[in-house]
Structure 1
């Protein structure tokens, strides 16, 4: 394996259009080459990578967005390729659309606008027809109503806080809420002890959780039966969170008053009182730039220092980079791995200045700074030695 050095120009390849602000993060030590067959890193948005073969140089993939279902994460893990996403970079864009559609659907704005468009050609009669027809679109104000927020991550927390400012009551559920999010969440958000508590009390429910085996189809006939009649459900997370057959029945029977989704398909388009949004959640210029910048910075930080933040397959781990030679090793999470790495370093009469080790499931990541000023052919020999340790997936030495 080649040694990572700041002198070596690294190749970045984009698989989708990436905002220029993101690409500008890379300095003269990088080249953007979209014809490269063996880049050091990929930047992408929605490009499907599942059928791709990866070159020996590939060390990082960054998704400018949150979802990574278009990336073969398991394969990347087995090959020691770190996969980043950009949680929170598009949070404000999604939050604004959630609140916009919450209010618009509550006031029947979408249906009203569509009906008004049908009056084209009525000439001077249009104002009179509007006045006589508007009563069919009488809606509800959201002030004083209860919004249930399922998932209080970057987006959910913003939605919850801003809904309070709109004079809504807010009840939230998230058993895995992070410390950072908890600090940013208003104390006026009521904490639900179970998801069923949200279902039972909310007039509007917005969901902000990833799609997993546990969350798939979480909105279904059984859970609809726990909700207030006429509840509005907003889904800007994943279409698979909703059992669409059950949703169609619930909408037809008035159990669900409106279903607002950013993931339309043929089934959704046939549902009365479904509001299909053409996947606009993160589609703002600001969001695309924020995601691109965040993705680029994470790749640059990893290639230059080995530090990992916002990875979906590596454990997050970092050490302040002081310019010392640094071992960055991704390996199986088994006993004595760190001991073998440090023994390898010691065998070259090198001292350890600092280190960190973090684990994630079956794998772990170790960063070790070397005290000595190492010259000559020691670095490639040490790198080769560490990579020969049983259970080592990949190791690089950054200098």
Structure 2
């Protein structure tokens, strides 16, 4: 029986896929796997039997990934599972940033009680909420992953010119991108050429304050900035100063903080990007499937701390799964204790590697004793 701890509510359509042989819930002790959404895990202690943590979502800033790698715990996420939900909210923000819809709604509420005069008051007051159309304007997209691609393609369909940049864009993602999206050579080139800017990158030391005072100064006057990715990508003080000077026309963010709340020309949403039942179901299904596949077959799909490694099972063979330091001599030593090998695959990611071996007569204890081996499982 495998025990799976749920730190947040995980949609039943996902947990039901675990099937027989699994016990799951928010009171599980000594878990073999953990399913999480937004719960903070950096102060948690992990037992020796914990094999995997699956984040039902894309971002994993709430998980101590380095600590997990050192302890041989695979961390999964679910890229693309909530992409459409976020895309739809970005498009909503794009329109809200232009047409002063939020301001108009709030103003209209103040007319309550004026009876038959409301119609005339509406006609007289609507001019204060004039805003530009997005058709023909240029949208800059920083980060062309699962979400960024959907946003870029949708903007093209809405009649916008779209420019983008992503230094890590994969070939499959490039093939999904609408050919009308113009790829530029840097974040700066995108940000200085667009009327609207949307950011879809993780928060790292390299991306923190990606939009700061210096970068804003180089942008077009009246630029509108959307941040549905991570708090910290846009420097709050810088964008507020730019809003007051008129350099930035609007700032829309899904990550509120005390400084931006109730500020003029700022629209703050309460992190609603993935808050749809469809998105929660998709994330739960993907997270549970990945955990199950790793626990039962040792295959790693969508890990953020170890390489993607999959190998079809060899009939009649013992499967040995090894997380180890990325060292050529160590890899040879592991293979030397694997017995009669039927199939194997090994891949590295940074300082660590993962090896799956289907063999007969493998010395699992001998492999575990090798210096630099973090975890060994025999399936």
- Does TM-score exceed 0.5, indicating one fold? yes
- 1:199/1:33 Cα in 2 relative to 1: closer, same or farther (>3 Å)? closer
Which of 343, 355, 375 is residue 366 of structure 1 equivalent to?
Answer: 355
Q: Give the drift of 1:156.
A: 0.2
Q: Give the drift of 1:270.
A: 4.2
Contact 1:93 1:282 in 2 (8 A): yes
Q: 2:137 aligned with 1:156, yes or no? A: no
Which of 201, 215, 218 is residue 226 of structure 1 equivalent to?
Answer: 218
Aligned to 1:51: 43
Q: Distance in 2 between matches of 1:386 and 1:140?
A: 65
Contact 1:22 1:293 in 2 (8 A): yes
Matches within 5 A, 1:331-350: 331-346=324-339
Q: Give the drift of 1:64.
A: 0.3
Secondary structure of 2:208's match? coil
Aligned to 1:352: 341
Q: Distance in 2 between matches of 1:33 and 1:389?
A: 36
Secondary structure of 1:336's match? helix
1:257-316 deviations in whole A, cap 9, x for unaligned? 000000011101143101101110000000000000010011001011111111111111
Of residues 226-235 and 65-74 in structure 1, the stretch that sits farther from structure 2 once superposed is: 65-74
Q: 2:88 aligned with 1:93, yes or no? A: no
Q: 2:163 aligned with 1:182, yes or no? A: no
Secondary structure of 2:86's match? helix
Contact 2:8 2:26 in 1 (8 A): no
Secondary structure of 1:282's match? coil
Contact 1:37 1:55 in 2 (8 A): no
Q: 2:206 aligned with 1:217, yes or no? A: no
Contact 1:62 1:299 in 2 (8 A): yes
Q: Distance in 1 between matches of 2:334 and 2:188?
A: 48
Aligned to 1:396: 377
Aligned to 2:323: 330
| Count of aligned pairs | 378
Q: Give the drift of 1:33.
A: 4.2
Secondary structure of 1:240's match? coil
Contact 1:48 1:71 in 2 (8 A): yes
Q: Distance in 1 between matches of 2:178 and 2:194?
A: 18
Matches within 5 A, 1:128-147: 128-147=120-139
1:3-38 deviations in whole A, cap 9, x for unaligned? xxxxxx211111110001111111112121432221
Structure 2 unaligned spans of 5+: none
Q: Distance in 2 between matches of 1:147 and 1:258?
A: 14
Q: Distance in 2 between matches of 1:261 and 1:36?
A: 36
CA root-mean-square deviation: 1.2
TM-score, normalization by structure 2: 0.97
Q: Give the drift of 1:105.
A: 2.1
Contact 1:251 1:271 in 2 (8 A): no
Q: Distance in 1 between matches of 2:256 and 2:206?
A: 22
Aligned to 1:70: 62
1:138-165 deviations in whole A, cap 9, x for unaligned? 1111111111100000000000011110
Structure 1 unaligned spans of 5+: 1-8
1:117-152 deviations in whole A, cap 9, x for unaligned? 111222222111111100000111111111110000
